[in-house]
Structure 1
Amino acid sequence: MELFSEENSAQVVAASFINTRNVRLRSLLTGLTQHLHAFIKETQLTEQEWAAAIDFLTRTGQRCDSVRQEFVLLSDVLGLSMLVETINHRTQGDSTESTVLGPFHMVESPPKALGDNIALDGKGEPCLVTGQVTGPDGEPLAGARIDVWQANAEGFYDVQQPDLQPERNLRGLFTADECGRFWFCTIVPRHYPIPVDGPVGQLLAATGRHPNRPAHVHFIVTAVGYRPVTTHLFVEDSPYLDSDAVFGVKSSLVRQFPVVDDTDRAAEVGLDNPFRTVDFTISLLREVDPAPSGTECSS
C-alpha cells in the first residue's frame, strides 16, 4: 500500500476501503473521498478553516433533538435535500412532483376521518382541501394514505410551540375513499422563516440569504403497489415562491386558494363562511402492475 502524500491522498484513502463488503458503501465512500480531497486541494483549505468547519458541524449536531433536526435544515438550505429528492423521484411528467420532507415531520400524524378539521385551535382563515389520489393512468387509488402537516396562521409548527399549540395541531393521517378521494378542513398556512437561532441561521446570515419559506401544506402519499411521494401544496399568492430558502418550490405544485362565499356549503363541511378552498390531484408512479379494479369512479 502506498504511503500518504498530497498527490495521491485520495487514492491511498480509497484503497483503505478495499475490504468493505457492501459494494454500494464502498462506492459511496470512494466517491466522497475523491470529491472531498479534490475540494481541499482546489481551495487550498487552511487549518483554521477546517477547524471552523468541524466546529460548525459539531454545533449543527448539538442542535438536533426530538423536535429539531438541524442537519436536515442544513441539507435543505444547501439544496442537497431537493437534489436527492429530484434524482430519486424523476417523474417525466407522469406523476406529482416531489419536494423536501422538511425538518418538522418529527411526530406521527394522528389518524383522522375524511372531512375532519386538523386545525385544533380554531385560529386562522378556514380552508377546505379536497383531492384525489390516482395512478399514472388516472386510475383511482382506493385506500391511499395521505399524511398532512402544516404551519399555523403565524408560521409555526406545533412542535415549535408546545406550550401554545395543541398537541398534533395541524396534522392528520387520512385514508382515501373507494374512489381515491380525500378531503379535510384546515386553515390557510402562512409563510414562515426556518429556525435561525442555530448554525444554519448563522450560515444564512453570513451569505446574505433570507430564511423564509412560502406558505405550503406538506403531504406524504402512499398506496400499495405505487411509489410514495413526499410533496407540498403551495399557496399561489404567498411571498417567497421565487426564493424559497430550501429550494422546494416547483411550479406544478402551486395552486390558487380561491374564496368561497356559500353559507350552505360552509355548513355542510363545518366551516365558517366565507372560506378558502383548494383541490389537489396527486398522481403516483406504479411500482408493480396493479390488479384489475372492479370499481368505476368519476373524477
Structure 2
Amino acid sequence: MKKVWNFENLSEDEPVTPADPDAEPELDESLRNPKVGLAIDAVRGALTDLVRNHGVTKDDVTVAVGALVDMSVEDPVFTRHHLVSILAQAWDPAGGWDVATQGTPADSEGPVYYPDAPLVDNPGVLPMREDEAGVPLIVSGQVRSLAGEPLAGAELDVWLATASGHYSNTGVRGLPDFVLRGRLLTDDKGRYEYRAIKPVPYDFPVRPKTADYMLLAQGFSRYRPRHIHVKVRHPDLSGEFTTQLYFRGDPYLRYYPATPAQRSLASLLQLDVELHDDPREITDRGLSRPFETSQFDLVLKTKRR
C-alpha cells in the first residue's frame, strides 16, 4: 500500500491553520532570496529542454527524481511529491487550456491519499463527527465527457482536511479514520452532490527544514491554500482522473509554490461559493448554522472522446 504520512505526534486539538484564513499571508521578507528562484527556474528550464527537444519522457524524469529522493534522509515522501511538482512545468502547457476541448485539468494526488474510503449516498454527506467544526459546504455538479455525455455511475473519491488542518488516517491523535474521506457514485445523468466542510489553509508541521527554507526564500507561504482532493473512476476513462479544487478569492493561492503552468491550470479549478444564512434554508438542509454551496462540473476525456 502507498505510504501515507504519519502524524502521530500531532493532535486534532492542535490546529496547523493560520489565525485568519481569509487575511493576506504574512511573509518574512528577510528570508527571501531571489537566487533560489533563479536556480529552480534554471533547473526547470533544463528539464523542459530535455523533455521537449531530446526525447526524455516524464517517466524518465520521475525515475531520476525518485533516485534522488531515495537518498533523502529527511523525508522521502514529502521530497518526492514536491520535487515532482516543482518540475512539472516540463510537461505541462503554459497556458491556453480549453476545458471544452481538453477537459478539466488534472492536478497532483498529494501525499495523504488513502484508499477504500466509505461509500456514501448521492446526495450524501462525507463521514464526519457529529460536532464537526467548520462551515458546512455542499458541492454539486455533473461528470460528463468532452462530447457532453453524462458519465453515469462514475465513482468520485473525495478527501480533505479538517478545520484544524489535519487529514484523517495519518495518525493524528483524536482524529478518527476516514473523517472527511468518502466515495459516491453519480446518478444516471452524471450528477453528484456531497456535503463536507469548507477547508482552510494549513501548514505541514513535519516539513523538512530544507523544504521550509526553499518556500520562504522564494517568497511563498508555508500554508497550502484551501483545496479539496478528487479522484474519478469510470469504465469509459483510460485511467482514474485526479485533480484538486481550489477556492476563488483565497489569498493563499497567490503564495503557493506552483509553476506558471500549474497556476494557469489552477485558475480553471476554482470553486465559487454562495453563502446561505436564511433560517428556512438552514432547516431544510438539516443544519443548525449557515452553510455554503458550490457547483463544479468535471469534464473528462473518455476513450471515445
* AA at the equivalent of 2:289: N
Given the alignment, which residue of 50, 58, 76 partners 2:71? Answer: 58
User: What are structure 1's unaligned runs of at least 5 residues?
Assistant: 1-25, 37-52, 290-299
SS for the counterpart of 1:213 is coil
1:211 counterpart residue number: 222
1:178 counterpart residue number: 188
TM superposition shift of 1:27: 6.6
Structure-1-length-normalised TM-score: 0.67
1:201 counterpart residue number: 212
- The structure-2 alpha-carbon separation of the partners of 1:243 and 1:258, relative to structure 1 and needing over 3 Å to count, comes to same
Given the alignment, which residue of 82, 97, 112 partners 1:73? Answer: 82
* AA at the equivalent of 1:183: E
CA displacement, residues 140-176 of structure 1 (integer Å, 9 cap, x when unaligned):
1110111111111122222445212221111111100
1:167 and 1:204 mapped to 2: Cα distance? 30
How many residues in Structure 1 have an aligned counterpart in Structure 2? Answer: 236
- The structure-2 alpha-carbon separation of the partners of 1:91 and 1:109, relative to structure 1 and needing over 3 Å to count, comes to farther
2:113 and 2:92 mapped to 1: Cα distance? 16
1:110 counterpart residue number: 118
- The structure-2 alpha-carbon separation of the partners of 1:268 and 1:138, relative to structure 1 and needing over 3 Å to count, comes to farther
2:57 and 2:87 mapped to 1: Cα distance? 19
1:196 and 1:163 mapped to 2: Cα distance? 15
TM superposition shift of 1:275: 0.5
SS for the counterpart of 2:71 is helix
Residue pair 1:114, 1:174 contacting (<8 A) in 2 also: yes
Correspondence 1:95-174 to 2 at 5 A? 95-118=103-126, 120-121=128-129, 122-160=132-170, 162-174=172-184
Residue pair 2:99, 2:105 contacting (<8 A) in 1 also: no
Residue pair 2:231, 2:243 contacting (<8 A) in 1 also: yes
- The structure-2 alpha-carbon separation of the partners of 1:93 and 1:178, relative to structure 1 and needing over 3 Å to count, comes to closer
TM superposition shift of 1:190: 0.4
- The structure-2 alpha-carbon separation of the partners of 1:206 and 1:244, relative to structure 1 and needing over 3 Å to count, comes to closer
1:4 counterpart residue number: none
Correspondence 1:41-56 to 2 at 5 A? none
2:57 and 2:150 mapped to 1: Cα distance? 39
> RMSD over aligned Cα, in angstroms?
3.3
TM superposition shift of 1:193: 2.5
TM superposition shift of 1:192: 1.8
The reply to whether residue 234 of structure 1 matches residue 242 of structure 2 is no
TM superposition shift of 1:104: 1.4
Residue pair 2:126, 2:179 contacting (<8 A) in 1 also: yes
CA displacement, residues 48-84 of structure 1 (integer Å, 9 cap, x when unaligned):
xxxxx97x86235x624xxx544113322x243x655
- The structure-2 alpha-carbon separation of the partners of 1:27 and 1:124, relative to structure 1 and needing over 3 Å to count, comes to closer
Residue pair 2:144, 2:299 contacting (<8 A) in 1 also: yes
Residue pair 2:78, 2:207 contacting (<8 A) in 1 also: no
1:188 and 1:237 mapped to 2: Cα distance? 14
TM superposition shift of 1:195: 4.8
1:226 and 1:107 mapped to 2: Cα distance? 19
User: What are structure 2's unaligned runs of at least 5 residues?
Assistant: 1-54
